[in-house]
Each structure stands twice: as C-alpha cells, then as structure tokens.
C-alpha cells in the first residue's frame, strides 16, 4: 500500500509568482516585457507584438521560447487581466501558434505577466515576464 501512495506524486500545483491580481489597461500592457533569461515580448498599442526568445507555455511542454511577430488580445474579469498572443508562424517544436495566455499581477511597482509551465506535478518554474509599473 505504501508503494502505491508514493507513486501518486504531488497533488498540488506550483503557486503563482508573488503579486496581486490586477486589471490593466491596454496602454499599461503596451510595453516591453522581459523574462528571467532576457527574452522579450514587446506588445504594441496596435495589437501586434514582437517576441525574442520569450518564455512561453504550450500544454505541458517546458523550456520553450518563442520568437517572431503576431497579434495580442486582452481579456479581463473584475480582478485580473489575461493576455493571449498568436504568432504569425507556427512554433518549430510544437507546430502551434497560440501558447497559453498570461495572467497579470502587480507586486509593488513591478507589473508581471505569468503562465504556469510544464507538468503541474513537477517543480518547473513559472514563466514570468516583468515590466516597471507606470
């Protein structure tokens, strides 16, 4: 019985990064966002973007980055903004054009866009993009 329970693994998911859920205006989103490895996602006011090796999440794949151009959209509920991106070209490893959407957070003067990466039973880091709050 002990072996069966051990094989189940962890039943919790990685917590989100530090910060509070926030609703952002399009003007606050239209800036350059940077990940921990220096990848960038520049969201433009006209709804287009340029990405350069920015961390992305496709289902349970981990360690993926995206580069290229495309379009972005914003959606919000009463507490939080979500940002979805669609690349013009398919990702070379996944064949997909739409990675999982980013959720917006604010931690002091820092704005964050984040998405969970990889298998939720493993301790893979979250993909976190930051931009100074205005």
The domain spanning residue 104 has which CATH number? 2.40.128
Query: Tokens 């072996």 identify what position?
Result: 3
* Domain assignment present for 108: yes
- Looking at residue 44, its pLDDT comes to 98
Give the confidence band of 8 by pLDDT, cuts at 50, 70, 90.
very low
Name the domain count of the chain.
Answer: 1
CA pseudo-torsion sign 61, 62, 68, 73: positive
Neighbours of 17 (CB within 10 A): 16
* Domain assignment present for 111: yes
Give the confidence band of 9 by pLDDT, cuts at 50, 70, 90.
very low
DSSP-based three-state secondary structure for 3: helix
- Looking at residue 13, its pLDDT comes to 58
- Looking at residue 97, its pLDDT comes to 94
78: pLDDT strictly greater than 80: yes
* DSSP single-letter state for residue 61: B
- Looking at residue 127, its pLDDT comes to 93
The more confidently predicted of residues 117 and 29 is: 29
């Amino acid at each position: 019985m002990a072996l069966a329970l051990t094989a189940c693994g962890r039943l919790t998911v990685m917590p989100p990064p530090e910060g509070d859920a926030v609703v952002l205006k399009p003007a606050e989103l239209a800036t350059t966002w940077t990940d921990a490895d220096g990848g960038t996602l520049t969201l433009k006011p006209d709804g287009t973007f340029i990405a350069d090796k920015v961390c992305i999440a496709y289902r349970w794949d981990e360690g993926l980055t995206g580069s290229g151009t495309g379009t972005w959209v914003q959606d919000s509920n009463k507490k939080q903004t979500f940002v979805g991106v669609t690349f013009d070209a398919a990702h070379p490893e996944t064949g997909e054009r739409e990675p999982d959407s980013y959720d917006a957070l604010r931690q002091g003067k820092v704005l964050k866009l984040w998405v969970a990466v990889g298998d939720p039973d493993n301790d893979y880091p979250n993909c976190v993009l930051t931009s100074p709050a205005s």
